[in-house]
């Protein structure tokens, strides 16, 4: 039976559990990509998913977003089973940037960002379109690219354009799969600063990251995955310790405090000579 449309979203209080995943399991062939993963995502926080290549980070984000269905387990969103939501209602409540997002059609940058406002057509919030689009373009530093066709952009410019489309939706939940992967240092910091600001305003932010130091600096909590299993979940200072990381990443590391912020800095231990 098709999901019933339930209207426009309302804000929830910071700390409210927005997503609840219980027993999430997914197999492909003889390989178990996710193995009974339990996870909560809360409003007002940045939760980062970390782990080695193949740990299941992107797969878990896709399941939470509704893009992929698990073999076992339950995902609750806003107090309802994820399966009960219509695609329109979901698109008004969470914005998703997948890792394999490909912007190859010959749209202009401005047209792509406009697509982020599609869920609000024929609603009262449609009046915010111009403001939301302008803010997103400015925040991602792509104003000078507005009339450029997407196929002509560099990888980093495409990534920033895709991110602008996502934040233009102004939903209460951002789900970002490696949003900093193709970006230079300055734009990496800008993207995660914006994610941090959205969380401070009460949004829930779920990010897949590879950079442990970015995660340490910008996350409220970190979920660490290895071979489809959730190894640890907690504040960065709890999860990002040398013993756990050395085991999970199978390489020796040390964790030292940043001299200014106190955030952990993860460094590989390299032999001399």
pLDDT in tens, 194-222: 999 999 999 999 999 999 999 999 999 99
Q: What is the pLDDT of residue 103?
A: 63
Task: Round to whole Å and give the CA distance between 240 and 52.
Answer: 14
What Cα–Cα distance (Å) separates residue 77 from each residue in 6, 29, 165, 214? Answer: 14, 29, 22, 27
Q: What is the pLDDT of residue 81?
A: 96
Calculate mean pLDDT across residues 73-91: 95
Q: What is the pLDDT of residue 118?
A: 96
Task: Round to whole Å and give the CA distance between 138 and 130.
Answer: 12
Task: Round to whole Å and give the CA distance between 190 and 141.
Answer: 9
3-state SS track over 224-265: EEECCEEEEEECHHHHCCHHHHHHHHCCCEEEEECCCCCCEE
Look up residue 136 and give its two tokens.
């997103």
Calculate mean pLDDT across residues 230-249: 96
Mean pLDDT estimate for the chain: 93
Sequence-separated (6 or more) residues with CB below 8 Å from residue 209: 48, 49, 50, 178, 180, 215
CATH of 17-240, picked from 2.40.50.140, 3.40.50.150, 3.40.50.80, 3.40.50.300, is: 3.40.50.300
pLDDT tens digits, one per residue of 156-195:
999 999 999 999 999 999 999 999 998 999 999 999 999 9
pTM of the predicted structure, to 2 decimals: 0.93
């Amino acid at each position: 039976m098709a999901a019933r449309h339930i209207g426009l979203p309302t804000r929830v209080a910071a700390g409210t559990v927005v997503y609840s995943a219980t027993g999430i399991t997914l197999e492909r062939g003889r390989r178990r990509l996710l193995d009974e993963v339990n996870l909560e995502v809360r409003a007002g926080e940045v939760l980062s998913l970390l782990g080695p290549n193949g740990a299941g980070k992107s797969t878990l984000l896709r399941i939470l977003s509704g893009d992929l269905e698990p073999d076992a387990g339950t995902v609750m969103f806003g107090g309802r089973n994820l399966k009960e939501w219509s695609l329109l209602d979901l698109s008004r409540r969470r914005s998703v940037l997948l890792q394999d997002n490909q912007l190859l059609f010959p749209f202009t940058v401005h047209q792509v960002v406009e697509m982020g406002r599609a869920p609000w057509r024929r609603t009262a919030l449609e009046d915010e379109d111009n403001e939301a689009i302008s803010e997103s373009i400015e925040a991602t530093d792509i104003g000078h690219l507005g009339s450029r066709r997407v196929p002509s952009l560099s990888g980093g410019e495409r990534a920033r354009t895709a991110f602008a489309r996502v934040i233009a939706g102004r939903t209460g939940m951002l789900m970002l799969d490696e949003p900093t992967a193709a970006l230079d240092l300055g734009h990496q910091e800008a993207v995660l600063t914006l994610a941090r600001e959205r969380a401070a305003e009460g949004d829930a932010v779920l990010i897949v990251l590879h950079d442990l130091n970015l995660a340490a600096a910008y996350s409220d909590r970190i979920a660490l995955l290895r071979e489809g299993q959730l190894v640890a979940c907690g504040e960065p200072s709890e999860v990002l310790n040398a013993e756990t990381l050395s085991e999970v990443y199978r390489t020796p590391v040390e964790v030292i405090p940043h001299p200014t912020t106190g955030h952990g800095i993860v460094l590989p231990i390299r032999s001399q000579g």
